[in-house]
Each structure stands twice: as structure tokens, then as C-alpha cells.
Structure 1
Amino acid sequence: MTERFMVPDDLAANGLEFLPDGLIAAIGPDRVVRFMNSRAERITGLRAADVIGRDVVEALPLQDLGGEPWWELASPWVGLATRTGHRERLLVLPSGRELLVTAKYVREWRCGPVRSVVIGVRDAEGRRRAEKESAALLTSVAHELRSPLTGVKGFSSTLLRNWDRFTDDQKRLMLETIEADADRVTRLITELLDTSRIGTGRLTVHAQPLDLRSRFDGQVERRVAAGMDRGQLEVEVQEGLDVVWADPDRLEQVMTNLVDNALRHGKGTVRLCAERSRWDGPAAVDVTVSDDGDGIAPQHRELVFSRFWQAGAKHGTGLGLYLVRGLVEAHGGEVVVEDAPGGGARLRATFPDVG
């Protein structure tokens, strides 16, 4: 028998009191709790003085989400002798506190009896936050999908039932509206797929030389066609700067999201500009979109690129700028928030010249 398999008596002296996670150790066949750090007290809501010296099954009556006693299901002291513990799982105390629990079964020798059980506990707040974010995303997606699909359904049903009653111009308007709503749904689905690819590191780009001015003009024309005043959008491309190296579809997504963000959160004129980059690296192009609004506070300039960041917006999925950063970084560039000359916000996306 070697001492490295034993749980020492002076656990606190070994630095375990300073672990960021809770730790509880039960020793011997009687399952007596010998150690509980202060972090475990805060997470479980139990006092170490009420736990230490007791049977861990009684002192820490964990249950699964179905209400079944976890200790009976896990049975660390009986069962397969090859088990070494279990991975993190969500368990509940009778008080209702949710804990993320891992366990290590310490044996004196391989397949020998369990000498001690060391339990790690973490607050489930992180998981609850992730679940809330997922629920928020589902709600936002459902809302964003419902509006265009309602339009598609309404206009298509109207056309099918009353085709002969409408003039050609009326039919064209309805069909154009259906097409625009279908494009909106397609864009949302593309954004969701790209969000998943960014999160897993599987996003790919195929850069090629693209004409900048035509891309900018396309952004303006689409919005003017949708009813926006042309004077609300300005385009400026630095003289001699003809192309940017980027993936055509990805560049379109970046520009669309930047312009949408400026129109949604900014004020006044929205300016689309392209100029040679100022960053210390290979030759590059800066694509900037600025507005005359209130700007973005310095403490929020990184947060705006987080998933689901909406800053009080009452519509949208909150994925726009998260996607922008992921798409620009996939090109080897960067995107930052700056102060616009007119006092609003300027978002600058840098695309390296890889030609």
C-alpha cells in the first residue's frame, strides 16, 4: 500500500482550501466525512461543522433531477471494482440547490475496495445561465421566423385564392414581398449555422479579390428599394483602393450586419467607408461603418461582440456582431469599435491582403 492513494488528514494544509471549487472527502467503509472546504460550504449551503464526522450519505443527501437518491444509484462502495469515479452531472439537495458534482473513488490498489470518495462540487449557475441563453435564442429565433413566415403565408394564400382579382403590378409587389421575406428567413438560418461553426472552429472562408464599391453600392440599393431615404447612407472608397480579399458571401454578411447594427442602434447618417489599413501587419483594407448616434461606451466595446448581446434592443437575435467578429477573424483580420468623427460609433473590420 502506498500513501499516495490515501486522503491525508491535513487536507487544508495541502492547499485544498484555496481551490475555486468545493471539495468534500469521505473516508473508510463507514463513509465518514473528514474534510469540507469553505467553498463547498458556500455552494451547498451546509456548515462544515454539521457535515464533518457524519456519514456522507446522510450529511449530503444528493438526488438526481428525477428525485431519486443519488448515492443509491452511484453506490461508490459497491458495484464494479473497475470504476474510478464519475464525470460531472447535475444533482440537487433537498433544499433545492442545484450542484454540478464529480466524484473520484480512491482505491488502495487497482480493483481494490474503495478507500475514500472525494467529491467536487460547483455552483450550477453557469449551466443555468447557458440554459437561459439557449432559451433566449429560441425565443428570438421563433420571433424572427414568425414575422416573415406570416408574410409569406398571407401573401401566397391571398394570391392563390384571388389571383384573377389583382393587377400585374399588385401581383409583382406581393411576389417581391414573399421573396424578401424568404431571403430574411434564409439569412437567419445561415447566421445560426455560422454561429455553430464559429463555436466549433469549423468556419471556412475562400478569399478572392472583390470590388469594394459595387459591394457598398449593393448595400445602399437594397435598402433604398426597401423604402429607406438614399440620403441616410453615404459611401466613400479611398482613391486607388479597388479590391478587398474576402469570401464573397462572408463579406456580404459582415457588411449587412454592420449596416443593420448602425441603422438599428445609431442615428443620423450611416457611412460606409473603405481605406488602407493602419494595423501593424501585412497590407490590409479597413471596412468601416459609422453613425452619428451616441456611440458605444468603452466598457461595452468588447461585450457587443458577445453572443446574444442586444443592449436593450427589442428585436433581433443578438448574434449580428458576434458573427461579424467570427467571420472577420476567419479571414485573419480583426474588428474593433471606435469613436466616429461625428461622435457616434464606428466599427472597423480589417481584411488582410492575401493576394
Structure 2
Amino acid sequence: MSVGTSRAPGAPGTLRRPAARCGPGDPDALADLGVHPDDLPDGLVVADESGHVICFNAAAVRITAVPAAEALGRPLERVLPLEDLEGRRWWQLTDPYGGLATRRGQPERNLLLPGAREVLVSARYVRSAPTGPVRRVIVSLRDTEARRRTERSHAELIATVAHELRSPLTSVKGFTATLLAKWERFTDDQKKLMLETVDADANRVTRLIAELLDISRIDSGRLEVRRQPVDIGAAVGRHIQAHVASGQAADRFLIRVEHPLPDLWADPDKIDQVLSNLLENAVRHGEGTVTIDVMPSASPREREDAGTSVTVSDEGPGIPEESMNRVFTRFWRGSKRGGTGLGLYIVKGIVEAHGGTITVGRAPRGGAQFRFTLPVGAPAYLTA
């Protein structure tokens, strides 16, 4: 990519330094595709065969804080005085114009600009022939903020896992070591209590590992959905019975099912996971009556039942308005009552893997309200 360059009068063989950033006049420019360099999301810096910058787009200006007017026409190594993380000058190491004639560029790597500002840099060498001299050096610059966010997210995940695993594993280790050392000194009731605690902590570790596997599959797009006929009303009823059996008052739950419901084909285990998480959140973080509404989801276009919607509402303090857009992100916690902060992220991934949607809002009585909608999802041979 080049700009209209011309030979300086009276100086054959030398190029006049351009007075403007690269534009649409070059036959091999991005303009041939209807794209201006300033439209690119990444920084673009192009140097000619003499090593002088002939293109410096707006993203490059933003990333380097070097005005385009100061960059154009200057030597590439002065415009981008890059160093690697060990303090070595990158242009001296790579030597694009005098290095191996077969080299085509440099892969992306972290480098430092003046002031220790980190950027992601990759380079491409354009040659007039396979082993000919370098005609252009094209440098791509990317901000590291997105990668830093990813790295922070991974670090948070590791820290969360370590914290969540430490407590149950410490308990398991402590009780098993005590039982092995002093088995005869405990009564049967004491032994049973210890073993029940170990079993509960082991279940907690198992759930955490399952959550991590789900996150991995969601992030990589590999979450599998094994569709079967699902009675969503009966599934909600089972979860309510489990909460009542664990000590919750039966009158705390109100189930309203609107019949007839369309046939629903979904993964029963994953739908159970969604219901379990939403109901547990309502019981743990909400107050008052937990209301579950199950009804057909009508399609405005087709004017017929397109699926099923489930709404879980409580009468607690609800979710602050400013937090609504973060509810389904990793590590969001609605209160200080523990938890990994991964549950709703997984719920959203499961619902979307079914082709459905999930939303959060304020319930009629002020609490939190989660509503997810699932399409019928019937196999093709049933709809043909």
C-alpha cells in the first residue's frame, strides 16, 4: 500500500516524503475495496522500500499517541521505537530490510513503546519477487486491553476456583484424618455426622467442577444439547418439592401453569440446572413468596405457540438498576452470601444453546424477576 510518491526534483533515485497519510489514489490500496485505512479497527503503519512511513492510520495514532503528521515521512524505527520485554530494540533484531530474503514477516508478539506502553505487534514484508528486496513493511498494532481483560478473567476464575475448593477440601481432609486417627473414640452418631459433612463437601466440589466444565464448553461453543420431550411444569414441581423437603415452607412457593403448553423438546438435565439455579437464587437472595409462572410463548408473527416461557419472581430487594446489564456475566454476585458468581453465566449459556432467550427485570412486588423462553425445539422429522 502506498501513497502517490514522486521523485524529488534534481535528486534521481530518491523519494519525496509524502505530505499526507495514505489515501485512495494508490491502485493497490485498501481504497480499491472501498475501505479507507482509518476505517480499520487496528493500527496500520506502512513503510516504503527506503524504510520511511507512508501510511499511519487513525488507530495507530490512538494506540501510539503519535500524530500522523509527525509520523509520515520519518524512518519506521523512529516512529515506532519498539523494544521487546527484555529491553532489546525490535527493529535491530528483526532487520526487515537487510535480513533473510525468504522472510515474509513477524508473528504477533507483545512489545513496548516508550513509557513501557505494551502493544501487540505483527509485521508483513511485501517483496517484488519471492526473494527480492522488501518493497513495503506493513505493521499491525493492537491495543492489549482486550487481552488484559481476558487474562484478568482467567486469573479471577483461577482465584475463585482455588478459594471455593480450599474450604470443602480442608473440611474433607480434616474429618477423614480425624476419623482415621481416632475412629474408636467416636460414637456412631458422631461418625455419621462427620461422614455426612464429608459427603456434602464432596458434592460441593463435584458441582464446582461441573460448572467449570460447562463454562469451558460454553466459551468454546461446544455445549451439547440432547433434546428429549420435557414436561416443564412437572420439572418445576420437582424442584419445589426438593426445597420443601430441605426445610423451606411450602407456602413460600406459588406455581402457576397455563395450559395447554406446547410440546417442548430440550435437554432435561440442563433445564433442571437452569431451574435449580434460578430457584436457589430466589430462595437465597430474595424474600417473601417465590412465584413461578409457566406459560406458552406466542410468536407475534406466526400467532401461534412458538415455545414455553418460565418466569421466576421473588419479593426481595431486587437487583439494582445499574447491575442489570452485568447479571449474566462471570463472577457477578447479587449479595455477599457466597457463591462462585458463575451460575447465571452458565444459565444464560444453556438457554442460548437451546435457541432461547433469558432476561432479568423487576418483579411486580419489587423483587428480582428472571424470565427464560425456550422454543419448541422439536426434531425435524416431527415437523416435516
Normalising by structure 2, what TM-score?
0.79
Asked if structure 2 preserves the Cα contact closer than 8 Å seen for 1:6 and 1:106, the reply is no
* Pair 1:65-2:85 in alignment: yes
What's the CA shift string for 1:122-149, capped at 9, x where partnerless? 2211111111111111111111212222
Asked if structure 2 preserves the Cα contact closer than 8 Å seen for 1:148 and 1:182, the reply is yes
Match of 1:352 among 363, 367, 375: 375
**How far apart, CA to CA, are the structure 2 residues paired with 1:279 and 1:167?**
62
Deviates more, 1:238-247 or 1:159-168: 238-247
Q: 1:334, CA displacement in angstroms?
A: 2.1
What's the CA shift string for 1:240-270, capped at 9, x where partnerless? 6698533232122111221233245433332
Q: How does 1:327-342 map to 2 (within 5 A)?
A: 327-342=350-365
**How far apart, CA to CA, are the structure 1 residues paired with 2:46 and 2:164?**
50
What's the CA shift string for 1:205-248, capped at 9, x where partnerless? 11223444553344345445655555544444445669853323
**How far apart, CA to CA, are the structure 1 residues paired with 2:245 and 2:189?**
16
Q: 1:84, CA displacement in angstroms?
A: 3.0
Match of 2:41 among 13, 20, 35: 20
Asked if structure 1 preserves the Cα contact closer than 8 Å seen for 2:3 and 2:23, the reply is no
**How far apart, CA to CA, are the structure 2 residues paired with 1:113 and 1:174?**
76
Letter in 1 for 2:47: A
**How far apart, CA to CA, are the structure 2 residues paired with 1:48 and 1:22?**
12
Instruction: Tell me the equivalent position of 2:135.
Output: 115
* Pair 1:248-2:268 in alignment: yes
Asked if structure 1 preserves the Cα contact closer than 8 Å seen for 2:3 and 2:22, the reply is no
Instruction: Tell me the equivalent position of 2:66.
Output: 46
Asked if structure 1 preserves the Cα contact closer than 8 Å seen for 2:21 and 2:68, the reply is no
Q: 1:324, CA displacement in angstroms?
A: 1.0
Letter in 1 for 2:315: D
Asked if structure 2 preserves the Cα contact closer than 8 Å seen for 1:213 and 1:242, the reply is no
Deviates more, 1:314-323 or 1:123-132: 314-323
Letter in 2 for 1:126: A
Q: 1:50, CA displacement in angstroms?
A: 4.6
* Pair 1:289-2:312 in alignment: yes
| SS, match of residue 277 in structure 1 | strand
Asked if structure 2 preserves the Cα contact closer than 8 Å seen for 1:26 and 1:33, the reply is yes
Asked if structure 2 preserves the Cα contact closer than 8 Å seen for 1:284 and 1:351, the reply is yes
* Pair 1:96-2:116 in alignment: yes
Asked if structure 2 preserves the Cα contact closer than 8 Å seen for 1:140 and 1:316, the reply is no
| SS, match of residue 23 in structure 2 | helix
Letter in 2 for 1:42: R
Gaps of 5+ in 2: 5-17, 25-35, 379-384
Instruction: Tell me the equivalent position of 1:203.
Output: 223
What's the CA shift string for 1:94-113, capped at 9, x where partnerless? 31101121222122233321
| SS, match of residue 316 in structure 2 | coil
**How far apart, CA to CA, are the structure 2 residues paired with 1:73 and 1:57?**
12
Identity %: 50
Deviates more, 1:81-90 or 1:190-199: 81-90
**How far apart, CA to CA, are the structure 1 residues paired with 2:151 and 2:227?**
36
| SS, match of residue 305 in structure 1 | coil
Q: 1:152, CA displacement in angstroms?
A: 1.8
**Which structure has more RCO (C-alpha within 8 Å, separation ≥ 6)?**
1
**How far apart, CA to CA, are the structure 2 residues paired with 1:289 and 1:234?**
10
Deviates more, 1:108-117 or 1:71-80: 71-80
Using a 3 Å threshold, how does the CA distance of structure 1 residues 199 and 115 change in structure 2: closer, same or farther?
A: same
**How far apart, CA to CA, are the structure 2 residues paired with 1:114 and 1:136?**
45
Match of 1:37 among 41, 57, 77: 57
Gaps of 5+ in 1: none
Asked if structure 1 preserves the Cα contact closer than 8 Å seen for 2:297 and 2:305, the reply is no
Letter in 1 for 2:327: V
Asked if structure 1 preserves the Cα contact closer than 8 Å seen for 2:179 and 2:191, the reply is yes
Instruction: Tell me the equivalent position of 2:31.
Output: none
**How far apart, CA to CA, are the structure 2 residues paired with 1:169 and 1:146?**
26
Using a 3 Å threshold, how does the CA distance of structure 1 residues 77 and 265 change in structure 2: closer, same or farther?
A: farther
Using a 3 Å threshold, how does the CA distance of structure 1 residues 167 and 210 change in structure 2: closer, same or farther?
A: farther
Q: Alignment RMSD, CA only?
A: 3.0
